[in-house]
Structure 1
Amino acid sequence: MVAEGVQHILDEDFELLEIVADGEALIDAVQRLQPDIVVADINMPRCNGMDALKRLRQAGVETRFVFLTMHMEPALAVAALRAGARGYILKNSAGEDLRNAAQQVMSGGTYVTPALGARYISGQMTDMRNLTSKQLQVLRLVGSGLRSKQIALQLGLSVRTVEAHKYTMMQVLGVHSTLELVRRAEDLGLLF
Protein backbone atom coordinates (compact mmCIF):
# COMPACT_ATOMS: atom_id res chain seq x y z
CA MET A 1 0.00 0.00 0.00
CA VAL A 2 2.85 2.40 0.86
CA ALA A 3 4.60 1.52 -2.40
CA GLU A 4 1.46 2.31 -4.37
CA GLY A 5 1.20 5.66 -2.58
CA VAL A 6 4.82 6.46 -3.41
CA GLN A 7 4.23 5.47 -7.03
CA HIS A 8 1.17 7.73 -7.23
CA ILE A 9 3.08 10.71 -5.75
CA LEU A 10 6.06 10.32 -8.09
CA ASP A 11 4.13 9.13 -11.16
CA GLU A 12 4.36 12.42 -13.06
CA ASP A 13 8.14 12.77 -12.89
CA PHE A 14 9.52 9.25 -12.48
CA GLU A 15 9.12 5.76 -13.94
CA LEU A 16 8.75 2.93 -11.46
CA LEU A 17 11.19 0.12 -12.26
CA GLU A 18 10.43 -2.32 -9.46
CA ILE A 19 8.86 -2.72 -6.02
CA VAL A 20 10.72 -4.98 -3.58
CA ALA A 21 9.69 -6.54 -0.29
CA ASP A 22 12.98 -6.71 1.60
CA GLY A 23 16.53 -5.39 1.81
CA GLU A 24 18.16 -8.31 0.01
CA ALA A 25 15.75 -7.88 -2.92
CA LEU A 26 16.51 -4.15 -2.86
CA ILE A 27 20.25 -4.77 -3.20
CA ASP A 28 19.64 -7.20 -6.07
CA ALA A 29 17.25 -4.82 -7.88
CA VAL A 30 19.56 -1.81 -7.55
CA GLN A 31 22.54 -3.76 -8.89
CA ARG A 32 20.48 -5.22 -11.74
CA LEU A 33 18.44 -2.16 -12.78
CA GLN A 34 20.84 0.67 -11.81
CA PRO A 35 18.06 3.19 -11.06
CA ASP A 36 18.70 6.90 -10.70
CA ILE A 37 16.93 7.03 -7.34
CA VAL A 38 15.62 4.60 -4.70
CA VAL A 39 12.88 5.33 -2.19
CA ALA A 40 13.30 2.87 0.68
CA ASP A 41 12.19 2.32 4.24
CA ILE A 42 14.74 1.89 6.99
CA ASN A 43 12.76 -1.00 8.48
CA MET A 44 12.83 -3.83 5.95
CA PRO A 45 12.91 -7.59 6.46
CA ARG A 46 16.08 -9.65 5.83
CA CYS A 47 18.30 -6.55 5.60
CA ASN A 48 17.27 -3.09 6.80
CA GLY A 49 17.41 -0.17 4.40
CA MET A 50 20.44 1.41 6.05
CA ASP A 51 22.48 -1.81 5.80
CA ALA A 52 21.36 -2.26 2.18
CA LEU A 53 22.59 1.25 1.39
CA LYS A 54 25.94 0.62 3.10
CA ARG A 55 26.44 -2.66 1.22
CA LEU A 56 25.63 -0.98 -2.09
CA ARG A 57 28.07 1.85 -1.35
CA GLN A 58 30.78 -0.69 -0.48
CA ALA A 59 30.11 -2.34 -3.85
CA GLY A 60 30.65 1.03 -5.56
CA VAL A 61 26.98 1.68 -6.39
CA GLU A 62 26.17 5.40 -6.24
CA THR A 63 22.38 5.29 -6.75
CA ARG A 64 20.71 8.13 -4.88
CA PHE A 65 18.73 6.99 -1.82
CA VAL A 66 15.79 8.69 -0.15
CA PHE A 67 14.54 7.10 3.06
CA LEU A 68 10.80 7.26 3.69
CA THR A 69 10.31 6.29 7.30
CA MET A 70 8.20 6.69 10.42
CA HIS A 71 11.30 7.37 12.58
CA MET A 72 11.32 11.01 13.66
CA GLU A 73 14.71 10.67 15.32
CA PRO A 74 17.26 13.29 14.23
CA ALA A 75 20.18 11.00 15.07
CA LEU A 76 18.83 8.34 12.70
CA ALA A 77 18.49 10.92 9.93
CA VAL A 78 22.09 12.00 10.51
CA ALA A 79 23.25 8.36 10.41
CA ALA A 80 21.33 7.80 7.16
CA LEU A 81 22.92 10.86 5.53
CA ARG A 82 26.37 9.84 6.74
CA ALA A 83 25.81 6.38 5.27
CA GLY A 84 25.18 8.02 1.90
CA ALA A 85 21.44 8.73 1.73
CA ARG A 86 20.49 11.96 0.01
CA GLY A 87 17.02 12.33 1.53
CA TYR A 88 15.13 11.53 4.73
CA ILE A 89 11.34 11.93 4.66
CA LEU A 90 8.77 11.09 7.31
CA LYS A 91 5.82 8.98 6.20
CA ASN A 92 3.36 11.31 7.86
CA SER A 93 4.51 14.19 5.63
CA ALA A 94 5.23 12.17 2.52
CA GLY A 95 3.04 13.83 -0.12
CA GLU A 96 4.64 17.05 -1.26
CA ASP A 97 7.81 16.40 0.77
CA LEU A 98 8.54 13.24 -1.20
CA ARG A 99 8.06 14.95 -4.56
CA ASN A 100 10.29 17.84 -3.45
CA ALA A 101 12.90 15.47 -2.05
CA ALA A 102 13.07 13.36 -5.20
CA GLN A 103 13.45 16.42 -7.41
CA GLN A 104 16.07 18.01 -5.16
CA VAL A 105 18.05 14.77 -4.85
CA MET A 106 17.95 14.21 -8.60
CA SER A 107 19.39 17.70 -9.13
CA GLY A 108 22.31 16.90 -6.83
CA GLY A 109 20.93 18.21 -3.53
CA THR A 110 20.00 16.71 -0.18
CA TYR A 111 16.57 16.86 1.43
CA VAL A 112 15.45 16.31 5.02
CA THR A 113 11.85 16.77 6.14
CA PRO A 114 11.87 20.39 7.40
CA ALA A 115 10.29 19.58 10.78
CA LEU A 116 13.00 17.02 11.46
CA GLY A 117 15.76 19.43 10.49
CA ALA A 118 14.39 22.07 12.87
CA ARG A 119 14.11 19.48 15.64
CA TYR A 120 17.73 18.39 15.08
CA ILE A 121 19.11 21.91 15.00
CA SER A 122 17.22 23.03 18.11
CA GLY A 123 18.25 19.83 19.92
CA GLN A 124 21.86 20.27 18.92
CA MET A 125 21.91 23.90 20.03
CA THR A 126 20.38 22.98 23.40
CA ASP A 127 22.76 20.07 23.90
CA MET A 128 25.82 22.14 23.05
CA ARG A 129 24.75 25.11 25.24
CA ASN A 130 24.43 22.79 28.20
CA LEU A 131 28.00 21.45 27.98
CA THR A 132 30.96 23.35 29.44
CA SER A 133 34.25 23.69 27.59
CA LYS A 134 35.88 21.28 30.08
CA GLN A 135 33.10 18.74 29.46
CA LEU A 136 33.63 19.07 25.71
CA GLN A 137 37.36 18.42 26.24
CA VAL A 138 36.56 15.30 28.25
CA LEU A 139 34.00 14.23 25.66
CA ARG A 140 36.47 14.50 22.79
CA LEU A 141 39.05 12.47 24.72
CA VAL A 142 36.43 9.83 25.57
CA GLY A 143 35.53 9.78 21.86
CA SER A 144 39.17 9.21 20.95
CA GLY A 145 39.15 6.05 23.08
CA LEU A 146 40.92 7.20 26.22
CA ARG A 147 39.89 5.85 29.62
CA SER A 148 39.02 8.09 32.57
CA LYS A 149 42.45 7.64 34.19
CA GLN A 150 44.23 8.65 30.96
CA ILE A 151 41.93 11.66 30.52
CA ALA A 152 42.49 12.73 34.11
CA LEU A 153 46.26 12.57 33.64
CA GLN A 154 46.14 14.49 30.35
CA LEU A 155 43.85 17.27 31.66
CA GLY A 156 45.29 17.46 35.17
CA LEU A 157 42.02 16.41 36.80
CA SER A 158 41.14 13.68 39.25
CA VAL A 159 39.57 10.49 37.91
CA ARG A 160 36.53 11.30 40.02
CA THR A 161 36.13 14.69 38.29
CA VAL A 162 36.37 13.07 34.85
CA GLU A 163 33.72 10.53 35.86
CA ALA A 164 31.52 13.36 37.16
CA HIS A 165 31.85 15.17 33.81
CA LYS A 166 30.94 11.99 31.95
CA TYR A 167 27.91 11.43 34.19
CA THR A 168 26.71 15.02 33.72
CA MET A 169 27.13 14.79 29.93
CA MET A 170 25.16 11.54 29.87
CA GLN A 171 22.34 13.29 31.72
CA VAL A 172 22.40 16.31 29.38
CA LEU A 173 22.50 14.18 26.23
CA GLY A 174 19.96 11.65 27.52
CA VAL A 175 22.14 8.51 27.31
CA HIS A 176 23.03 5.76 29.78
CA SER A 177 26.48 4.46 28.88
CA THR A 178 29.84 5.68 27.63
CA LEU A 179 29.21 4.00 24.26
CA GLU A 180 25.86 5.77 23.90
CA LEU A 181 27.54 9.03 24.94
CA VAL A 182 30.13 8.71 22.18
CA ARG A 183 27.50 7.78 19.57
CA ARG A 184 25.25 10.68 20.55
CA ALA A 185 28.21 13.08 20.46
CA GLU A 186 29.13 11.82 16.98
CA ASP A 187 25.53 12.30 15.81
CA LEU A 188 25.56 15.86 17.11
CA GLY A 189 28.93 16.62 15.51
CA LEU A 190 30.58 17.26 18.88
CA LEU A 191 33.59 15.03 18.15
CA PHE A 192 36.28 16.09 15.72
Structure 2
Amino acid sequence: MNEVVAHHAAVPADGEAKAVDAEVSRARPRALLADDHTLVREGLLRLLAGELEIVGAVADGRALVSAAEQCQPDVILVDVTMPLLNGFDAARQLRRLCPRGRIIFVTVHAEPDYVHEAFRAGAHGYVVKTAASAELLLAVREVLAGGMFVSPGLVHEPWVGAPEGEGEGELSSRQREVLQLVAEGRPAREIGDILGISRKTVEFHKARLMRALGLRSVAELTRYAVEHGLVSGR
Protein backbone atom coordinates (compact mmCIF):
# COMPACT_ATOMS: atom_id res chain seq x y z
CA MET A 1 0.00 0.00 0.00
CA ASN A 2 2.03 2.95 -1.23
CA GLU A 3 -0.82 5.40 -1.50
CA VAL A 4 -0.59 8.50 0.65
CA VAL A 5 -3.90 9.12 2.37
CA ALA A 6 -4.42 12.83 2.93
CA HIS A 7 -6.84 14.14 5.51
CA HIS A 8 -8.38 17.60 5.48
CA ALA A 9 -10.72 19.26 7.95
CA ALA A 10 -14.19 20.14 6.69
CA VAL A 11 -14.57 23.86 5.88
CA PRO A 12 -17.84 25.67 6.78
CA ALA A 13 -19.75 27.48 4.08
CA ASP A 14 -19.64 30.82 5.90
CA GLY A 15 -16.91 33.08 4.52
CA GLU A 16 -15.70 34.35 7.89
CA ALA A 17 -15.55 30.83 9.30
CA LYS A 18 -13.53 29.78 6.26
CA ALA A 19 -10.94 32.46 6.97
CA VAL A 20 -10.68 31.45 10.62
CA ASP A 21 -10.34 27.76 9.76
CA ALA A 22 -7.69 28.51 7.15
CA GLU A 23 -5.68 30.51 9.69
CA VAL A 24 -5.93 27.70 12.25
CA SER A 25 -4.85 25.14 9.64
CA ARG A 26 -1.80 27.22 8.71
CA ALA A 27 -0.87 27.60 12.39
CA ARG A 28 -0.98 23.87 13.15
CA PRO A 29 2.18 21.77 12.70
CA ARG A 30 2.04 19.34 9.80
CA ALA A 31 2.35 15.63 10.56
CA LEU A 32 2.98 12.49 8.51
CA LEU A 33 2.56 9.03 10.01
CA ALA A 34 3.48 5.50 9.00
CA ASP A 35 2.28 2.16 10.36
CA ASP A 36 1.45 -1.03 8.48
CA HIS A 37 -1.65 -1.71 10.63
CA THR A 38 -4.78 0.07 9.44
CA LEU A 39 -6.34 0.18 12.91
CA VAL A 40 -3.21 1.75 14.39
CA ARG A 41 -3.08 4.41 11.67
CA GLU A 42 -6.75 5.24 12.25
CA GLY A 43 -6.18 5.43 16.00
CA LEU A 44 -3.22 7.77 15.60
CA LEU A 45 -5.21 9.95 13.22
CA ARG A 46 -8.01 10.33 15.75
CA LEU A 47 -5.55 11.09 18.52
CA LEU A 48 -3.61 13.74 16.61
CA ALA A 49 -6.16 15.38 14.30
CA GLY A 50 -7.29 17.97 16.83
CA GLU A 51 -3.79 19.39 17.27
CA LEU A 52 -1.94 18.66 14.04
CA GLU A 53 -2.61 18.95 10.33
CA ILE A 54 -2.26 15.36 9.07
CA VAL A 55 -0.72 15.53 5.61
CA GLY A 56 -0.53 11.78 5.06
CA ALA A 57 -0.78 8.27 6.47
CA VAL A 58 1.16 5.45 4.80
CA ALA A 59 1.69 1.73 5.35
CA ASP A 60 5.34 1.06 4.49
CA GLY A 61 8.76 2.63 4.88
CA ARG A 62 9.36 3.47 1.24
CA ALA A 63 6.01 5.23 0.94
CA LEU A 64 6.96 7.17 4.08
CA VAL A 65 10.25 8.39 2.65
CA SER A 66 8.60 9.40 -0.62
CA ALA A 67 5.75 11.22 1.12
CA ALA A 68 8.06 13.01 3.55
CA GLU A 69 10.28 14.25 0.73
CA GLN A 70 7.21 15.60 -1.06
CA CYS A 71 5.29 17.02 1.93
CA GLN A 72 8.19 18.15 4.19
CA PRO A 73 6.17 17.70 7.41
CA ASP A 74 7.13 19.16 10.78
CA VAL A 75 6.77 15.87 12.64
CA ILE A 76 6.98 12.29 11.41
CA LEU A 77 5.56 9.33 13.36
CA VAL A 78 7.05 6.00 12.38
CA ASP A 79 6.88 2.38 13.49
CA VAL A 80 9.98 0.18 13.70
CA THR A 81 8.75 -2.85 11.77
CA MET A 82 7.25 -1.95 8.39
CA PRO A 83 7.23 -3.63 4.94
CA LEU A 84 9.77 -2.72 2.23
CA LEU A 85 11.84 -0.45 4.50
CA ASN A 86 11.98 -0.62 8.29
CA GLY A 87 11.65 2.46 10.49
CA PHE A 88 15.34 2.64 11.40
CA ASP A 89 16.53 2.84 7.81
CA ALA A 90 13.64 5.10 6.85
CA ALA A 91 14.73 7.50 9.61
CA ARG A 92 18.28 7.51 8.26
CA GLN A 93 16.98 8.60 4.86
CA LEU A 94 14.59 11.14 6.39
CA ARG A 95 17.49 12.92 8.09
CA ARG A 96 18.77 13.81 4.63
CA LEU A 97 15.53 14.20 2.64
CA CYS A 98 13.42 15.95 5.30
CA PRO A 99 15.90 17.63 7.65
CA ARG A 100 13.32 19.83 9.37
CA GLY A 101 11.07 16.89 10.27
CA ARG A 102 11.14 15.75 13.89
CA ILE A 103 10.98 11.94 14.04
CA ILE A 104 9.03 10.08 16.72
CA PHE A 105 9.00 6.29 16.85
CA VAL A 106 5.67 4.83 17.97
CA THR A 107 6.15 1.10 18.45
CA VAL A 108 5.51 -1.98 20.56
CA HIS A 109 9.24 -2.50 21.02
CA ALA A 110 10.46 -1.43 24.46
CA GLU A 111 13.73 -3.39 24.47
CA PRO A 112 16.90 -1.32 25.07
CA ASP A 113 18.51 -2.23 21.74
CA TYR A 114 15.51 -0.93 19.78
CA VAL A 115 15.38 2.37 21.63
CA HIS A 116 19.11 2.93 21.28
CA GLU A 117 19.03 2.12 17.57
CA ALA A 118 16.14 4.55 17.01
CA PHE A 119 18.13 7.47 18.42
CA ARG A 120 21.24 6.41 16.52
CA ALA A 121 19.10 6.54 13.36
CA GLY A 122 18.01 10.12 14.12
CA ALA A 123 14.91 9.91 16.33
CA HIS A 124 13.79 12.82 18.49
CA GLY A 125 11.21 10.82 20.42
CA TYR A 126 10.27 7.24 21.29
CA VAL A 127 6.80 6.26 22.51
CA VAL A 128 5.64 2.71 23.26
CA LYS A 129 2.23 1.98 21.77
CA THR A 130 0.77 0.83 25.06
CA ALA A 131 1.24 4.38 26.39
CA ALA A 132 0.52 6.30 23.18
CA SER A 133 -2.90 7.57 24.22
CA ALA A 134 -1.39 9.26 27.28
CA GLU A 135 2.06 10.20 25.97
CA LEU A 136 1.98 10.82 22.24
CA LEU A 137 0.71 14.39 22.26
CA LEU A 138 3.20 15.21 25.01
CA ALA A 139 5.95 13.75 22.84
CA VAL A 140 4.85 15.76 19.81
CA ARG A 141 4.81 19.01 21.78
CA GLU A 142 8.21 18.31 23.30
CA VAL A 143 10.01 17.48 20.06
CA LEU A 144 8.41 20.38 18.18
CA ALA A 145 9.74 22.67 20.92
CA GLY A 146 13.24 21.38 20.19
CA GLY A 147 13.48 18.75 22.91
CA MET A 148 13.60 14.97 23.12
CA PHE A 149 11.00 12.59 24.52
CA VAL A 150 11.18 8.98 25.68
CA SER A 151 8.35 7.06 27.33
CA PRO A 152 8.97 7.50 31.09
CA GLY A 153 9.36 3.78 31.71
CA LEU A 154 12.47 3.84 29.51
CA VAL A 155 14.24 7.00 30.66
CA HIS A 156 16.56 5.25 33.10
CA GLU A 157 18.72 4.31 30.11
CA PRO A 158 21.03 6.82 28.33
CA TRP A 159 19.20 6.64 25.01
CA VAL A 160 19.77 10.07 23.58
CA GLY A 161 23.09 10.64 21.87
CA ALA A 162 24.48 11.98 18.65
CA PRO A 163 23.13 10.28 15.52
CA GLU A 164 25.45 7.82 13.85
CA GLY A 165 27.73 9.03 11.11
CA GLU A 166 27.33 7.97 7.50
CA GLY A 167 28.67 4.49 6.91
CA GLU A 168 28.84 3.52 10.60
CA GLY A 169 27.52 0.20 11.79
CA GLU A 170 28.00 -3.41 10.83
CA LEU A 171 26.13 -3.22 7.54
CA SER A 172 25.84 -0.54 4.90
CA SER A 173 22.47 1.06 4.19
CA ARG A 174 22.18 -0.93 0.96
CA GLN A 175 22.99 -4.19 2.73
CA ARG A 176 20.30 -3.49 5.34
CA GLU A 177 17.78 -2.82 2.57
CA VAL A 178 18.68 -6.09 0.84
CA LEU A 179 18.57 -7.95 4.15
CA GLN A 180 15.04 -6.77 4.90
CA LEU A 181 13.71 -7.58 1.43
CA VAL A 182 15.34 -11.02 1.42
CA ALA A 183 13.85 -11.71 4.85
CA GLU A 184 10.42 -10.68 3.51
CA GLY A 185 10.75 -13.55 1.02
CA ARG A 186 11.16 -11.41 -2.11
CA PRO A 187 13.15 -12.90 -5.03
CA ALA A 188 16.32 -11.22 -6.25
CA ARG A 189 14.68 -9.86 -9.41
CA GLU A 190 11.92 -8.14 -7.41
CA ILE A 191 14.46 -6.76 -4.93
CA GLY A 192 16.44 -5.36 -7.84
CA ASP A 193 13.32 -3.66 -9.22
CA ILE A 194 12.49 -2.13 -5.84
CA LEU A 195 16.02 -0.83 -5.26
CA GLY A 196 16.81 0.07 -8.86
CA ILE A 197 19.79 -2.29 -9.09
CA SER A 198 20.54 -5.43 -11.08
CA ARG A 199 19.83 -8.96 -9.93
CA LYS A 200 23.59 -9.65 -9.84
CA THR A 201 24.12 -6.64 -7.58
CA VAL A 202 21.41 -7.95 -5.25
CA GLU A 203 23.18 -11.30 -5.04
CA PHE A 204 26.49 -9.52 -4.42
CA HIS A 205 25.06 -7.56 -1.49
CA LYS A 206 23.36 -10.68 -0.15
CA ALA A 207 26.65 -12.60 -0.17
CA ARG A 208 28.53 -9.70 1.44
CA LEU A 209 26.06 -9.28 4.28
CA MET A 210 25.96 -13.03 4.96
CA ARG A 211 29.75 -13.01 5.31
CA ALA A 212 29.63 -9.90 7.51
CA LEU A 213 27.07 -11.49 9.84
CA GLY A 214 28.53 -14.99 9.76
CA LEU A 215 25.27 -16.47 8.44
CA ARG A 216 24.89 -19.31 5.96
CA SER A 217 21.26 -19.44 4.83
CA VAL A 218 18.22 -17.35 4.05
CA ALA A 219 16.55 -18.85 7.12
CA GLU A 220 19.37 -17.50 9.31
CA LEU A 221 19.14 -14.12 7.59
CA THR A 222 15.40 -14.04 8.25
CA ARG A 223 15.89 -14.93 11.91
CA TYR A 224 18.46 -12.14 12.25
CA ALA A 225 16.10 -9.63 10.59
CA VAL A 226 13.24 -10.59 12.92
CA GLU A 227 15.45 -10.36 16.02
CA HIS A 228 16.59 -6.86 15.01
CA GLY A 229 13.13 -5.53 14.18
CA LEU A 230 13.68 -5.27 10.43
CA VAL A 231 10.73 -7.55 9.65
CA SER A 232 7.79 -8.83 11.65
CA GLY A 233 7.96 -12.26 13.20
CA ARG A 234 4.18 -12.70 13.04
TM-score by length of 2: 0.49
In percent, how many aligned pairs have the same letter? Answer: 40
Aligned CA-pair RMSD: 1.6
Alignment of 1:1-192 (within 5 A): 1-59=39-97, 61-118=99-156, 120=157
Shift of 1:60: 6.1
Letter in 2 for 1:23: G
SS at match of 2:84: coil
CA drift of 1:57 comes to 1.8
CA distance in 1, matches of 2:98, 2:66: 14
> What TM-score comes out, normalization by structure 1 length?
0.60
Q: Once the 2 structures are TM-superposed, how far is the Cα of residue 75 of structure 1 from its aligned partner? A: 2.3
Question: Higher helix fraction: Structure 1 or Structure 2?
Answer: 1
Mark the structure with the bigger radius of gyration.
Answer: 1
Kindly report structure 1 stretches of 4+ aligned residues shifted beyond 2 Å: 58-62
**Is the partner of 2:64 in helix, strand or coil?**
helix
- Structure 1 residues 113 and 53, CA, compared in 2 at 3 Å: closer, same or farther? same
Q: Indicate if the aligned counterparts of 1:74 and 1:117 stay in contact, CA closer than 8 A.
A: no
Contact kept? 1:35, 1:63, Cα under 8 Å:
yes
Please say if residues 61 and 84 of structure 2, whose CA atoms lie closer than 8 Å, have aligned partners that are also in contact. yes
Partners of 2:78 and 2:105 within 8 A in 1: yes
User: What letter is aligned with 1:50?
Assistant: F
Shift, 1:92, TM fit: 0.6
Q: Deviations over 1:6-48 (max 9, x none)?
A: 1111122101111111000000000000000011101110000
Compared with structure 1, are the counterparts of its residues 12 and 47 closer, same or farther at alpha carbon in structure 2 (3 Å cutoff)?
same
Distance 1:42 1:62 in 2: 20
Q: What runs of 5+ residues in structure 1 fail to find an aligned partner?
A: 122-178, 180-192
Aligned residues: 121
Residue 59 of structure 1, CA deviation: 3.9
Distance 1:60 1:41 in 2: 17
CA distance in 2, matches of 1:39, 1:58: 16
Q: Secondary structure of the residue that 1:16 maps to in structure 2?
A: strand
2-side partners of 1:2 and 1:102: how far apart? 17
